[in-house]
């Protein structure tokens, strides 16, 4: 199987969840720490390093799913090398979110803080209008994020550039849309169960959700030969 070939019809959502749990149980605490630290660093750096961190997170989870030794240091192993390849993916995810906030919510927040002269009915109209637009944009963003769900693993696993990973992720998700839709439904139930567990339980579902995604990724993109996740090519190897 070449870098761009993938399986179709291989994702069985409930089986992916069960397999993911069995594979990460021995390293659950370590993988939980990897996910939390990776996301925190991405946030602290104002999303500058979120791409590199997510690549590092997926590298650790791929190690677990592939039966390799999970190393916390892998989270930071290739920060520089993953920065440029992951950048297009980050732009597609983060920039629309910032635009939505700036266009929809910032004016509303400023109007409230500055004591706008809008009447109560006008303010409510503005609020519900913003919520309606936000709902539509949220649906669009969910669709976009779904198409990109394999992008970071592809950068790590197949040494693809950002644009190559984006295109291949979108193509493979579209060809496996039924399985991916079911997968999101299963992960939503897991997330909801965590939320109902005193709310903070949602954080403990993060490793399960990530591992389920990685198991699904492996169903679509099987491991190649004796893959050991070598360092990716240097940044100047990619034409962004």
What pLDDT digit, counting tens, does each position of 56-90 carry?
Answer: 999 999 999 999 999 999 999 889 999 999 999 99
Share the mean pLDDT of the chain. Answer: 86
Q: Which two tokens stand for residue 188?
A: 């939503």
Residue 109: the pLDDT is 66
Residue 237: the pLDDT is 47
What pLDDT digit, counting tens, does each position of 143-197 carry?
Answer: 989 999 999 999 999 999 999 999 999 999 999 999 999 999 999 999 999 888 7
Burial profile 83-113: b = 16 or more Cβ within 10 angstroms, e = fewer: bbbbbbbbebbeeeeeebeeebeeebeebee
Query: What is the pLDDT confidence band of residue 110, given thresholds at 50, 70 and 90?
Result: low
Residue 239: the pLDDT is 45
- Quote the CA–CA distance of 219 and 68 in Å, as a whole number: 17
What pLDDT digit, counting tens, does each position of 18-70 carry?
Answer: 999 999 999 999 999 999 999 999 999 988 999 999 999 999 999 999 999 99
């Amino acid at each position: 199987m070449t870098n761009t070939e993938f399986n179709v019809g291989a994702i069985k959502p409930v089986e992916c969840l069960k397999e993911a749990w069995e594979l990460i149980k021995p390293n659950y605490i370590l993988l939980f720490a990897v996910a939390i630290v990776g996301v925190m660093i991405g946030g602290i750096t104002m999303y500058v390093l979120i791409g590199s961190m997510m690549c590092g997170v997926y590298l650790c989870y791929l190690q677990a799913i592939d039966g390799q030794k999970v190393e916390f240091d892998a989270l930071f192993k290739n920060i520089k090398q993953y920065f440029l390849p992951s950048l297009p993916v980050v732009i597609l995810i983060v920039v629309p979110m910032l635009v939505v906030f700036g266009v929809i919510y910032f004016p509303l927040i400023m109007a409230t803080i500055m004591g706008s002269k809008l009447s109560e009915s006008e303010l409510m109209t503005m609020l519900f209008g913003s919520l309606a637009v936000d709902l539509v944009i949220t649906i669009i963003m969910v669709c976009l994020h779904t198409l990109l769900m394999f992008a970071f693993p592809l950068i790590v696993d197949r040494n693809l550039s950002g644009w190559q990973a984006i295109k291949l992720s979108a193509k493979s998700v579209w060809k496996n849309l039924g399985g991916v839709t079911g997968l999101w439904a299963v992960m939503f139930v897991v997330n909801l169960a965590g939320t109902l567990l005193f709310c903070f339980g949602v954080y403990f579902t993060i490793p399960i959700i990530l591992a389920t995604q990685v198991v699904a990724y492996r169903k679509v993109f099987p491991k190649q030969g004796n893959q050991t996740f070598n360092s990716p090519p240097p940044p100047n190897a990619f034409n962004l």
